[in-house]
């Protein structure tokens, strides 16, 4: 029976995890305990603040359902999501960089043929998106499967509209024999992350805004290559320097070029990293 005071409790908790059979889990729990305790000591956490944290996490849990994920939002606005992406996607020079996945991807989106319009009725300024998917060695990647998803002109994803029964501004396209793709959609606009919950309260209390700069989401899969999860950001957008989720990387910022008919053209090539042999 050891003393449980602020100088000895961390050792006692670490000792309690010493018999963890899985070495990786033991490493994670030990590091978590050390950093969690160091945080509490650094700020001399009060009991009222501890209770506030318990209540905050509880409310994050209660607002989370199959359409809303407050813990991912929390991770996003604390930069943990982007840090995890950076830690796990250290690709060779020349590869397209990754960014956060976000909470709005949907498995099983409709497939579109080359040149088709995946807006599917979503409101916005028309645009054409085209480019090539290559390996870092320069080889074209035929048959790459590209999930594309984005907000509409009001800054909402289809899954945020309770009245919608079909996918809008969301679809799957496939590259041709030369690795080329092309689809029609609408121009993405900035939008706020959901901020009517505990994470939104935290942003307000810290004078942070909830906005993300305009972007298109991509998830690109091809046999023999690492899956790429990224965005392309619009260089004309507000919030490029203050993305609420810290997802902007300069290499992912691109121009949507206005055409004579008022529509826009985005040209962007993606470069994938081969899987390790």
Chain residues 114-153 in contact with a copy of itself, contact rule CB under 8 A = none
Restricting to residues 27-46, which ones interact with a copy of itself according to CB under 8 A?
27-29, 31-33, 35-46
Among 96, 99, 150, 234, binds a copy of itself (CB under 8 A): 99
Query: What own/partner pairs with CB < 8 Å and gap ≥ 24 does 6-14 have?
Result: 6/41, 9/37, 10/34, 10/37, 13/37
Instruction: Tell whether residue 177 is a contact of a copy of itself (CB under 8 A).
Output: no
Rounded to an integer, what distance in angstroms lies between the CA atom of residue 191 and that of residue 222?
30
Q: Which is nearer to a copy of itself, 60 or 156 (CB)?
A: 60
Place of tokens 């939008």: 191
Q: Which is nearer to a copy of itself, 178 or 251 (CB)?
A: 251
The torsion region of residue 13 among left (phi > 0), alpha (psi -120 to 50) and beta comes to alpha
Interaction mask 55-94, a copy of itself, x per CB under 8 A: --xx-xxx-x----x-xx--x--xxxxxxxxxxx------
CB of 106 to a copy of itself, least distance (A): 16
Helix axes 198-205, 47-63, angle to 10 degrees: 130
State in angstroms the smallest separation of the CB of 3 from a copy of itself.
Answer: 7
Positions in 192-211 near a copy of itself (CB under 8 A)? 205-208
What is the helix (H) or strand (E) element at residue 33, kind and residue range?
helix 23-43
Q: Given the complex with a copy of itself, which of 53 and 265 has the nearer CB atom?
A: 53
**Site membership for a copy of itself, residue 104 (CB under 8 A):** no
Under a CB-based contact definition with an 8 Å cutoff, are residues 132 and 182 in contact? no
Q: Decide if residue 241 touches a copy of itself (CB under 8 A).
A: yes
Rule CB under 8 A: is residue 253 a binding residue for a copy of itself? yes
Output 22 or 163, the one with its CB closest to a copy of itself. 22
- Cβ atoms of 263 and 251 within 8 Å: the answer is no
**Paired residues of 98 in beta bridges:** none
User: Which range of residues in 50-58, 117-125, 130-138, 154-162 is near a copy of itself by CB under 8 A?
Assistant: 50-58
First to last CA, the chain: 52
| Contact call for residue 218 and a copy of itself (CB under 8 A) | no
H or E, element range at 229: strand 228-234
């Amino acid at each position: 029976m050891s003393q449980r005071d602020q100088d000895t409790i961390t050792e006692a908790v670490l000792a309690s995890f010493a018999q963890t059979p899985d070495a990786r889990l033991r490493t994670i729990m030990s590091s978590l305990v050390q950093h969690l305790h160091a945080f509490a000591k650094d700020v001399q956490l009060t009991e009222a603040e501890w209770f506030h944290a318990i209540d905050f996490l509880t409310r994050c849990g209660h607002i989370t359902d199959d359409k809303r994920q407050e813990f991912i939002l929390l991770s996003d606005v604390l930069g943990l999501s982007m840090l995890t992406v950076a830690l796990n996607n250290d690709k060779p020079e020349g590869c397209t960089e990754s960014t956060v996945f976000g909470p709005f991807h949907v498995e099983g989106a409709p497939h579109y043929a080359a040149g088709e319009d995946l807006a599917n009725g979503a409101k916005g300024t028309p645009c054409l998106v085209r480019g090539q998917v290559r390996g870092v060695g320069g080889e074209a990647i035929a048959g790459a499967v590209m999930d594309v998803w984005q907000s509409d002109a009001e800054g909402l994803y289809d899954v945020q509209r309770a009245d919608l029964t079909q996918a809008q501004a969301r679809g799957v396209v496939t590259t041709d024999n030369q690795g080329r793709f092309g689809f029609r959609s609408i121009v993405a606009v900035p939008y706020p992350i959901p901020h009517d919950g505990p994470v939104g309260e935290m942003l307000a209390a810290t004078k942070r805004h909830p906005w993300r700069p305009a972007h298109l989401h991509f998830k690109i899969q091809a046999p023999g290559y690492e899956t790429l999860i990224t965005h392309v950001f619009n260089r004309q957008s507000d919030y490029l320097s203050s993305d609420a989720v810290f997802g902007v990387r300069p290499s992912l910022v691109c121009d949507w070029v206005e055409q004579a008919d008022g529509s826009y053209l985005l040209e962007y090539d993606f470069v994938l990293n081969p899987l390790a042999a």
